[in-house]
Structure 1
């Protein structure tokens, strides 16, 4: 049973005073890394557009452009009046070498330094939500959680979260510190957390930030079987976007598009609504241009009927009998 109020539009994250919109802005692409390079002018406009559309939670991370995404988010939010400033969620626990190759690093000394760096880049005195980006197999979870809890008690962090953790790892974390959120890949095609993290969150008064709710653009309906991606684009690494798999996924999207149209909706709004209907979830809507934020409101204020939800499952089973998960994104341990 979810222990906090959930509406089609808003949810309350433990540690934050006011409810947040159930669609948040994801800013990985804004950092430029693995998305074709940065475009700061458009990025700032995109953040402002998201706020205009009612979004009041922005998710970022130091590794998104190696500090660049946080700097852009900080600049954009600083330009907003106090009454419009959104909550900012960031992450830590990833380090990188001189060639910008990330690796997991959740040592307490690294965590404290990352918090100080994020405060400066984001131009804030307190971080609203700090999430451990990936579990670090070489650092005891208790040490990571304890270090973060100390920073929370010092008033530098309001709420704590993890990302890509198993439920057993979250149990370990919660022995040392309160845990408000888990961030995980979740969309119509990537459903691994449906029977693990989501029920765990419901049981333990947590919320789930779903990254990739549009499956890296697949569920926008704009990608075809002939679409190619430039060097450095994340999708060149994703098995779903390889020719032998892409056609099946595109055909599934076409069927979902027809189903959405029968309900007067777009496939994009259907995909986001599906994520929001699965539990205490917040969909991270990735964008780097203002036009890409349009349509946010189309996914709010309604829910899928049981019949339509079953049809979504049938379509996926028909076209994707062997789903491919998002494990390709996992960075190595140090």
Structure 2
């Protein structure tokens, strides 16, 4: 297991972190609590010390499951990250709300569900155009002063939005989507974070499972599954992405790893990446992520990856479809 430091924290963290969106079950076909707790325990026993969750993952369920697992494994064994800034109604319709009033409600709810006194890294899940970024940043500063959080982070923020934040408060991390198929952050976000000492924790390294190599063109996703609305998983686009995945197989085999491990290894060695989140709801899934080789891919490998992408995916589809309503 590789470890690194994140700004604002005095603990070293594993470079593979456990992402718990799938543990919440919502938009992923559900999850089984006993198995999810076992997955968290297996992750920590394998050396994964970074756990990332959010209230919206299962509308509180993921945080509750993480809290139950923490009582079994011990709070001091993990660096705990969660998020805020989204709200929902009884119809499970999501919208952004980063007002100080909403955040005050969320921090107390997260602490209760997680069963902890403080959160190591507290992140704003999505920028909210209706609320001044400075007001949101000030709210997190107040939580820090109260001892409820340690480090301040954001997710899905642009460089200009991070710049506005940094005028009034420190910014320790940003959490954007990033994987072999979704590389938009390389243009400006990664250079900005490197230049300003901001840690980058990425999500979606397996591109909603596409980079596991487990799907075929005729695969059918259940009602409510996120991939039913992901344009990458539709029609000709799905076939093009699957063809690229097939082209990656010999490269992964040459390194003695699975396709998923190959995709994560690629992300880990990109300049500026601190932590890569690996989503799992069963022990076997997270143990695959814990066994990623520390040996980097060669320049030849990286060049071949870029050639495959250029040939198979001349017009990449981004992750914008995931953005919640304003």
Aligned to 1:290: 283
Deviations 1:104-137 (A, max 9, x none): 0000011111111101101110111011000001
1:15 aligns with 2:4: no
Mapped contact 1:57–1:86 kept (Cα < 8 A): yes
1:26 aligns with 2:19: yes
Unaligned 5+ residue runs, structure 2?
A: none
- CA shift for structure 1 position 244: 2.0
Aligned to 1:258: 250
C-alpha RMSD of matched pairs (Å): 1.2
Aligned to 2:211: 219
Which of the residues 116, 119, 135 maps onto 1:124?
116
Unaligned 5+ residue runs, structure 1?
A: 1-7
Moved more, 196-205 or 227-236: 196-205
Aligned to 1:98: 90
- CA shift for structure 1 position 297: 3.7
Could you say what secondary structure the match of 1:182 adopts? strand
Aligned to 2:309: 316
Could you say what secondary structure the match of 1:66 adopts? coil
Could you say what secondary structure the match of 1:185 adopts? coil
Which of the residues 266, 269, 282 maps onto 1:277?
269
Please give the residue correspondences for 1:35-184 in structure 2 after superposition, counting only pairs within 5 Å. 35-81=28-74, 85-184=77-176
Q: Distance in 2 between matches of 1:36 and 1:266?
A: 24
Mapped contact 1:149–1:176 kept (Cα < 8 A): no
- CA shift for structure 1 position 18: 1.5
Question: Where has structure 1 moved over 3 Å in runs of 4 or more?
Answer: none
Q: Distance in 2 between matches of 1:300 and 1:14?
A: 25
TM-score, length of structure 1 as denominator length: 0.95
- CA shift for structure 1 position 82: 5.3
Mapped contact 2:67–2:114 kept (Cα < 8 A): yes
Q: Distance in 2 between matches of 1:216 and 1:269?
A: 14
- CA shift for structure 1 position 209: 1.1
Aligned to 1:234: 226
Aligned to 2:322: 329
Mapped contact 1:25–1:287 kept (Cα < 8 A): yes
Which of the residues 294, 302, 315 maps onto 2:295?
302
Moved more, 236-245 or 256-265: 256-265
Could you say what secondary structure the match of 2:73 adopts? coil
Moved more, 259-268 or 128-137: 259-268
Could you say what secondary structure the match of 1:79 adopts? helix
Q: Distance in 2 between matches of 1:233 and 1:44?
A: 22
Mapped contact 1:161–1:182 kept (Cα < 8 A): yes
Could you say what secondary structure the match of 1:137 adopts? coil
- CA shift for structure 1 position 16: 1.5
Mapped contact 1:134–1:162 kept (Cα < 8 A): yes
TM-score, length of structure 2 as denominator length: 0.97
- CA shift for structure 1 position 294: 2.1
Mapped contact 1:29–1:288 kept (Cα < 8 A): yes
Could you say what secondary structure the match of 1:121 adopts? helix
Q: Distance in 2 between matches of 1:264 and 1:67?
A: 38
Aligned to 1:4: none
